[in-house]
Amino acid sequence: MAAAVPALKHWRTALERVEKFVSPLYFTDCNLRGRLFGDRRPVAALASFLTPERLRYQDAVQQDFRPAQVGDRFGPTWWTCWFRVELIIPEAWVGQEVHLCWESDGEGLVWRDGEPVQGLTTEGEKNSYILTNRLGEGDPRSLTLYVEVACNGLLGAGKGTMIAPPDPEKMFQLSRAELAVFHRDVHQLLVDLELLLGIAKGLGKDSQRSFQALYTANRMVNVCDPARPETYPVAQALASCFFSQRGGDSQHTLHAMGHCHIDTAWLWPFKETVRKCARSWVTALKLMEQNADFIFVCSQAQQLEWVKSHYPSLYAQLQEFACRGQFVPVGGTWVEMDGNLPSGEAMVRQFLQGQSFFLREFGKLCSEFWLPDTFGYSAQLPQIMRGCGITRFLTQKLSWNLVNSFPHHTFLWEGLDGSHVLVHFPPGDSYGMQGNVEEVLKTVTNNQDKGRANHSAFLFGFGDGGGGPTQTMLDRLRRLSNTDGLPRLLLLNQFHDVVTGSCIQLVAEDAMKHYEDIRSHGNTLLSAAAGALCAGEPGPEGLLVVNTLPWKRTEVLALPKPGGAQSLALVTVPSMGCVPAPILTSPQPPPPQQPVFVMQETDGSVTLDNGIIRVRLNPTGHLTSLVLVASGREAIAEGALGNQFVLFDDVPLYWDAWDVMDYHLETRKPVLGQAGTLAVGTEGGLRGSAWFLLQISPNSQLSQEVVLDIGCPYVRFHTEVHWHEAHKFLKVEFPARVRSPQATYEIQFGHLQRPTHYNTSWDWARFEVWTHRWMDLSEHGFGLALLNNCKYGASARGNVLSLSLLRAPKAPDATADMGCHEFIYALMPHEGSFQDAGVIPAAYSLNFPLLALPAPGPAPATAWSAFSLSSPAVVLETVKQAETTTQNRTLVLRLYEAHGSHVDCWVHTSLPVQEAILCDLLERRDPAGHLPFQDSRLKVTFSPFQVRSLLLVLQPPSN
């Protein structure tokens, strides 16, 4: 007679009993975990070679391999160690599943018969490669593999901590290389028991289902003898009985999405990302082959392009699985870009290039924007998405908020212009789930839209540094699918750190090289454009002044003189056009505006006055007065100093290059200037200026020239900083004689308002915000705008405008921001609203100065304008050649309404237009978008902040 099962069990002892039965640390000599692998054999031979290069397979296998053994160390960081692994499988293993077990530091990629077949990363829980699922009688017993091991981990090679700068001398070690029989039935039982433990712990002692899970696991331990495989089916049947009990239709549904987020560059260089993609995606392909219901989803066209170039056979397999519906590209952009810093046109190009790639390579456009790992979301993104055929958006990073928790996970996002997209934030607060019970329950518990939205995304797979899903994750999720007591789980699996500077030094260096290439190529295009404008006429070289902005400009420009010197000239250039540069040797007509007046007082202060604004600087370079001359209105707060540099301690809780904490504001220290350093620079006329030096600290210095030009409504601050600090934050402040509860900040294709007070926690959390070219603080009838040409952090607290200039984080790049910086900011007082006062065109003009281009022939004798607009509320942001036409006669014009108003705008052009038609941001024609064109103009209607794109087909040249 069988022994009676006790009616009462002690919760903790039962729980720990099961934990020890599956533990990889305790009792492995007699527990189930110790039986995962059976017979083992060392590899027949092992050889290796080291290289600082990232070689292609064909070149690597030709190198001089030398004998190697387990325990060998290799490196240093960013090198590659190739291993040649020779294997002989014992005859006795026929009928068994055979693995190559491999454990080493670094990221490995297995090559078999000249093709990549699987990634090997201890951090990504991929320590074995399946040689055969079942060794057959006729299968080869000997084979040779190559394992390419990158000397870096999934998350780089930080010295001490993950985000610390890489340790250039770090060494890596091979700790395991052997053949082993893998017991798949043991693996399945381990998954069962781990999940039952998770359910028991997650649901707790108040849940009937929790006790059922614990009792089932305890019974499985009773019937399962690890030394007797014939007992395994009985234990498996108990687990199957539990997991087959289904939940009701009303349960919350999780959509499990296989995902492998790979930062295009972060704690590793761009070139290593190429290999990360290969390691991750070839592993995903193996999972697709072995799991017909597994659909792997990935974003970022750039990474796919890299794999296409470097691993063509792997890419061909990805395309094949895409046709089967198992590999699904998503996202619609070239990379997962930053959501704050790029311009509107840069964002459009992300979608234009990305969607074009997906359509060309995979036959369809993406309908969702995928941005799981990016901080910040522009209010114009919904309109840009809609214009690119995208109606849904997924992201996750709002879960990192420290002060406020976002109140929704599924909602409609309304953009600045009124466009809507459906947004989902996965409630599990992660895009790298592993499929365990705790994560599943957290997803349901966290959901902020209970009762309104009964579905959530569940993103699983190792991410950031790649890796992706594992077979164990898939096995877990299958068991949890619709199991009673848990949410319903559908195994649908459907589904940026460079521009911000939060990357390692190698990535920053690569980015600077890219920018140098772009600048060089851009200069070549400028020279070609100048030649085209001169119609290629032969003759002595002239000089062409070009205005790239859509309004007429009269500005002071420094023109080259013989011998390398420069001379100032006042030049008027039509909208998006050019004029010949004035001949400096001939007499110039008197300027139409009041010349700039410069005076230095006996106390050392300097006054600059151009009849529009009057600027007064004290002997230390502080701004003591800024007067709008016509009204006599003072812009600087009484008794306060503008252009005040301030230094803050900048030590976040952990994420050094990412986070700015609120408590940094408590460490404010004004940088004190030294009297007598202010001197007159340019003495007046077309331009007046004063300059000074400032010692920021014993290690850092600043020099600045304060410049006022004739006819210019703003004063510029040309600044050079030699910055050598650690965990310091430099800002400049302007206390304004303006009172308003909100300030206005430019974003892509528009602007928005943010509070100047800290009334709520939501207001307080915005102590530092992002802006593009300008911010403005206005009351009725008067305001003060702060313009800049390259800074993105700002704040308006009360009446103080503050621009963030430089930080000094030490991780992940210890040299971040160190060295010489040059930048310009400007201050513009104005009457009326910032829209009517011209703040927006002023900020554009600061960022896009007139260009003086050497012409290969005589410059045109008269002014020429390509485009002009009838409304100051509309900005012609971009003129470019169409991407989607094979002919060169089609242009794309991108315009947007910048004031926040309904407006009709006439677009005038001197170009021979044959046809004008509206299109979307992907340059697809609007069937109802034909625009009448007559008298060299066409009319376009705008609603507030609307972005519109036109296709202009030019007439063919006459023979």
Active-site residue list = 373
User: Cβ neighbours of residue 204 under 8 Å, at least 6 residues apart?
Assistant: 210
- CA-based radius of gyration for the chain: 33
Among the listed residues 883, 790, 765, 787, the one whose alpha carbon sits nearest the alpha carbon of residue 834: 787
- Burial of 299 per CB tally in 10 Å (0-12, 13-18, 19+): buried
Other beta carbons less than 10 A from residue 51's beta carbon: 13
Are the C-beta atoms of 919 and 892 separated by less than 8 Å?
yes
Residue 840 CB-half CA count within 13 A: 26
User: Cβ neighbours of residue 928 under 8 Å, at least 6 residues apart?
Assistant: none
Among the listed residues 586, 582, 731, the one whose alpha carbon sits nearest the alpha carbon of residue 649: 731
User: Cβ neighbours of residue 117 under 8 Å, at least 6 residues apart?
Assistant: 110, 111, 129, 282, 286
User: Cβ neighbours of residue 663 under 8 Å, at least 6 residues apart?
Assistant: none
Q: What is the DSSP letter of 924?
A: P
Are the C-beta atoms of 126 and 118 separated by less than 8 Å?
yes
Cα–Cα distance, 310 to 282 (Å, whole number): 13
Are the C-beta atoms of 696 and 703 separated by less than 8 Å?
no
Among the listed residues 747, 826, 840, 740, the one whose alpha carbon sits nearest the alpha carbon of residue 781: 740
Are the C-beta atoms of 631 and 831 separated by less than 8 Å?
yes
Cα–Cα distance, 127 to 106 (Å, whole number): 12
Report the relative pairing of strands 455-460 and 253-259 from DSSP bridges: parallel
Dihedral sign, Cα of residue 198, residue 200, residue 204, residue 206:
positive
User: Cβ neighbours of residue 763 under 8 Å, at least 6 residues apart?
Assistant: 755, 757
Among the listed residues 260, 273, 215, 269, the one whose alpha carbon sits nearest the alpha carbon of residue 242: 215
Are the C-beta atoms of 281 and 115 separated by less than 8 Å?
no
Residue type, 58: Q
Angle between the N-to-C axes of helices 232-243 and 184-203, in degrees from 0 to 180, rounded to the nearest 10: 40
- Burial of 955 per CB tally in 10 Å (0-12, 13-18, 19+): exposed
Question: How far lies 354's CA from each of 135, 337, 377, 562, 861, in Å?
Answer: 44, 11, 19, 47, 43
Are the C-beta atoms of 766 and 753 separated by less than 8 Å?
no
Instruction: State whether residue 201 is helix, strand or coil.
Output: helix
Residue type, 569: A
Q: For 676-709, give the DSSP string.
A: T--EEEEESBSEEEEEEEEE-SSS-EEEEEEEEE
Q: Assess whether the previous peptide bond of 76 is cis (omega < 30° from 0).
A: yes
Among the listed residues 302, 643, 358, 641, the one whose alpha carbon sits nearest the alpha carbon of residue 498: 302
User: Cβ neighbours of residue 16 under 8 Å, at least 6 residues apart?
Assistant: none
**CA diameter of the chain:** 121
Show the tokens assigned to 42.
Answer: 């060392």
Where do runs of H (alpha helix) occur along 125-183? none
